[in-house]
Amino acid sequence: MTTRPLILVTNDDGIYAPGLFALQQAMSAIGDARVVAPDSERSAAGHAITIADPLRVWEYEKNGGFFGHAVNGTPADCVKIGVKAILKQKPDLVVSGINQGPNTAINVIYSGTVSAATEGTLMGIPSIAFSITTFRKTDFSFAAKFAKYLAEKVLREGLPNGTLLNVNIPSLPPEEIKGVKITRQGRARYEEFFEKRVDPMNRSYYWLSGKKMMLDSDGDVDDVAITDSYIAITPLQFDLTDYKSFDNLKQWNIGIPDGQSSDT
């Protein structure tokens, strides 16, 4: 590569998040890193996009200088508007994160961090989502170092059309991390409930609460690899068709009501 690669950096924890700063710093070491990130936390935003409201863009300063553009939208919005209206050209790479908390198993489908990388992939740009597997205040330096290493590899090798990488890095001292595993999205999910509370105006409200239940034990499952002190890299794609059910459903002979093959 003769010119420095152009890298779009975003997240779902918002433009103030330390994980975003760590990722921007790491990407600046290998390319022209441009931040376009949500103006507030958008965790669990799923693959939401803003179509019924206008988007606004602000310039955000940090440490006395321009840091990046803040958008009143979702992570997927940030990638769309970043590419189309801010950069006005296709970057060589989209990176999202470093998210505070794992994006593994069922969290993948709720994840704003992953959705930003999905959006990049949809636009034909190699894209990677990075998460560190703790919700506590943490040191991002090893995760940022790994992000730089993997980003360089992806810039060099490319990614297959329609494939993104979802990377989860254990929150451990670097010397305790055993290596990297290529993993699949696990089946772990939440046993959830709603806490009903009463506000100072005597109106009731609900908070979602829940406990994660592991349902896998194979070493190539994202959560298991992390528990085993490995970095988990799961390749993702976005054709949700359940091809396994195709033949079964065809045998249902679904007709149209009042039509010949109907049974109502």
115-154 residues in contact with a copy of itself (CB under 8 A) are 115, 118, 122, 145-146, 148-150, 152-153
φ/ψ (deg, to 5) at 165:
-110, 135
- Window 4-43: contact mask with a copy of itself (x via CB under 8 A): -------------------------------------x-x
257 binds a copy of itself (CB under 8 A): yes
Q: Minimum distance between the CB of residue 208 and a copy of itself, rounded to whole angstroms? A: 6
Among 64, 65, 173, 179, binds a copy of itself (CB under 8 A): 179
Smallest Cα–Cα separation from 187: which of 239, 231, 234?
234
Cβ-contact 65, 35 below 8 angstroms: no
DSSP secondary structure string, 6-30? EEEEE-SS-TT-HHHHHHHHHHHTT
Q: Minimum distance between the CB of residue 63 and a copy of itself, rounded to whole angstroms? A: 25
196 binds a copy of itself (CB under 8 A): yes
Amino acid at 28: S
Fill in the DSSP letter of residue 221: B
188 binds a copy of itself (CB under 8 A): no
Among 137, 200, 207, 211, binds a copy of itself (CB under 8 A): 207
Among 185, 224, 225, 232, binds a copy of itself (CB under 8 A): 185
User: What does the block give as tokens for 219?
Assistant: 């070493």
Residue 199's CB: how many other CB atoms inside 10 A? 8
List binders of a copy of itself among 237-256 (CB under 8 A).
237-246, 248-250, 252, 254-256
Residue 214's CB: how many other CB atoms inside 10 A? 14
User: What does the block give as tokens for 104?
Assistant: 């593994």
Among 17, 70, 81, 94, binds a copy of itself (CB under 8 A): 81
Whole-angstrom distance, CA of residue 12 vs CA of residue 14: 5
Q: Of 3-11, 17-25, 72-80, 90-98, which part binds a copy of itself (CB under 8 A)? A: 72-80
| Residue whose CB is less far from a copy of itself, 64 or 240 | 240
48 binds a copy of itself (CB under 8 A): yes
Q: For residue 250, what are the CA distances in angstroms to 225, 228, 256?
A: 38, 42, 14
47 binds a copy of itself (CB under 8 A): yes
Among 1, 109, 213, 215, binds a copy of itself (CB under 8 A): 109
Locate all alpha helices (DSSP H) within 82-221, ordered by sequence. 107-110, 112-122, 141-157
